[in-house]
Structure 1
Amino acid sequence: MARRFKRKYGVTPLERILIILLIAVVVGATLGVILPRINNGIAEITGRYTATGTAAETLNKLAVVDRPNGDGYDRDLFGFRETDDDGNGCDVREDILARDLTDVAYVTRNGCKVKSGVLNDPYTGKVIHFTRGQNTSAAVQIDHVVALQNAWQSGAKDWNARKRMQFANDPYNLLAVDGPANQGKGSASAAYWLPTNASYRCDYVARQIGVKDKYGLSVTSSEKRAMQSVLHGCPGQEIPAD
């Protein structure tokens, strides 16, 4: 009876070989995913940081500073929303809302203050119906693609007040986005935060690179690797036009 049980439920030599092969395939696939994330050297060898296009080329030209000094940062030193460069009577928040929203309605006829509109949010992919109001305006916020604090420790600390104000109010570095997503990003670089909308990550990283190049800002090694990893998935990615 024991021999009959063994023949019925035992594993044949062929089955053992198939099991070993299956285990080898699973382990190999797992290591292929995990090791590049653990070891940057392996990631370099496997090409996870290789990228093409003007965004990648520009990134490689940026200075790398791994111990940036953020001492003395104060958001007020940038003068955000304190300019009206186009002379229309509205600050840059209103200008960006008017640029990025669709179906825009204004508070007054021929005015520039946005009363309502629709945002196809690039960070989350959500459609947000914006309405101006004390309890509703924060649903759409204006994000500095390269955060002010990140800019400060990447070189803006050494700028004069005029250049900091120019940076803070430059439409090239501003996007209307989902309020909670903007709050979640805070001052994080690409090494620590990327849009949950994966289809926008290439454009997001390319714009950050464009901004840093325009203003001569640096990146950290981890920030650069994160950007390269994103750009690896979008060959030929271009820098956005100013």
Structure 2
Amino acid sequence: MRIRRSGAVAVVGAAIAIAAWLNPSFDLGYRGDTVAIAAPEAAGDLASLLDQVKVVDRINDVPGYERSCKRGDACSFGPAWNDPRDVSGCDARNRELARQLRDVVFKDGTRNCKVIAGWLQDPYSGERVDLRDVELDHTVALHRAWNAGAWQWDSHTRQIFANDPMELRALSSSVNQAKSDAALDEWMPPLPQARCPFVIDYLSVMAKYELPITVRERDAAAAACATAPLS
């Protein structure tokens, strides 16, 4: 499977803008358990991203997906948080927690790898949550990616996808579980002002890996970013 290079400027620009908005060092003004977050400007160009992804009527369920890597299981996207491109010796989960959480504390003797304390301002709900209530989400759910075409990739490419920082977002466990394996037309962040950045994030991943979206997802993206209906 060839990862898209054309249109990279638009995709990377969108990703950088999203990362800036979701940067844990950005002061959101914590007030109790939730915060009031000013609506960010839509990051990137929705029309440009939609122009880069194929739109299909439906995406069918493809058998064979198994996230588990226990003996006898398919291990469809490789061992969890094992990035084949990384040589630091620190797993993808801890690297992303260290990047996205605040006031991070590392376990002694792990060379600033294993995160044992910290807190997150959830980007989709505005809630402040402690590390114990933080989970790492795949913006495009692995099962969704599998059905959209990842089932055709080699195992190495699937493992790269599952550990791509562009795909990984620290969320509160409650938000992550509500999102689950939902497609773009099935779930949106509870904060209205977080919906367009989420859409741009989602579409950037789909464009990068040349995965299709459905007509319903396209329409949901347009609605979330308050664009005119697409023909």
Q: TM (normalized to structure 2)?
A: 0.71
Shift in alpha-carbon separation, 1:59–1:188, aligned structure 2, 3 A: same
Question: Share of identical aligned residues, percent?
Answer: 38
Q: Does 1:146 align with 2:140?
A: yes
The residue number in structure 1 matching 2:175 is 181
1:84–1:92 contact (8 Å) kept in structure 2: no
What's the secondary structure of 1:143's corresponding residue? strand
Which one of the candidate residues 28, 38, 46 is aligned to 1:55?
46
Consecutive unaligned residues in structure 2, runs of 5 or more: 1-41, 68-74
The residue number in structure 1 matching 2:81 is 81
Consecutive unaligned residues in structure 1, runs of 5 or more: 1-50, 131-135, 235-242
The residue number in structure 2 matching 1:171 is 165
What's the secondary structure of 1:69's corresponding residue? coil
Following TM superposition, by how much is the alpha carbon of 1:69 offset from its aligned partner in structure 2, in angstroms?
2.8
The residue number in structure 1 matching 2:106 is 106
Q: Does 1:71 align with 2:62?
A: yes
**Distance in structure 2 (CA, Å) of the matches to 1:151 and 1:182:** 17
The residue number in structure 2 matching 1:119 is 120
Following TM superposition, by how much is the alpha carbon of 1:108 offset from its aligned partner in structure 2, in angstroms?
1.2
What's the secondary structure of 1:77's corresponding residue? coil
The residue number in structure 1 matching 2:210 is 216
* Rg larger in structure: 1
Residues paired across the two proteins, number: 177
Question: Per-residue displacement from partner, 1:53-80 (whole Å, max 9, x unpaired)?
Answer: 5222211331112232322222220123
Question: Per-residue displacement from partner, 1:165-188 (whole Å, max 9, x unpaired)?
Answer: 110010001001011111111111
Which one of the candidate residues 196, 201, 211 is aligned to 1:207?
201
**Distance in structure 1 (CA, Å) of the matches to 2:89 and 2:198:** 30
Shift in alpha-carbon separation, 1:105–1:52, aligned structure 2, 3 A: closer
2:84–2:156 contact (8 Å) kept in structure 1: no
1:21-40 aligned at under 5 Å gives the runs none
Shift in alpha-carbon separation, 1:189–1:123, aligned structure 2, 3 A: same
Letter in 1 for 2:149: G
**Distance in structure 2 (CA, Å) of the matches to 1:63 and 1:83:** 27
Question: Per-residue displacement from partner, 1:151-204 (whole Å, max 9, x unpaired)?
Answer: 111111111111111100100010010111111111111201001022211111
2:84–2:160 contact (8 Å) kept in structure 1: no
Which segments of structure 1 move beyond 3 Å, counting only runs of 4 or more?
Answer: none
Question: Per-residue displacement from partner, 1:98-133 (whole Å, max 9, x unpaired)?
Answer: 010011110115331001112010121101122xxx
Worse-matched range after superposition: 159-168 or 62-71: 62-71
1:84–1:90 contact (8 Å) kept in structure 2: no
Which one of the candidate residues 224, 227, 236 is aligned to 2:221?
227
Q: Does 1:196 align with 2:187?
A: no
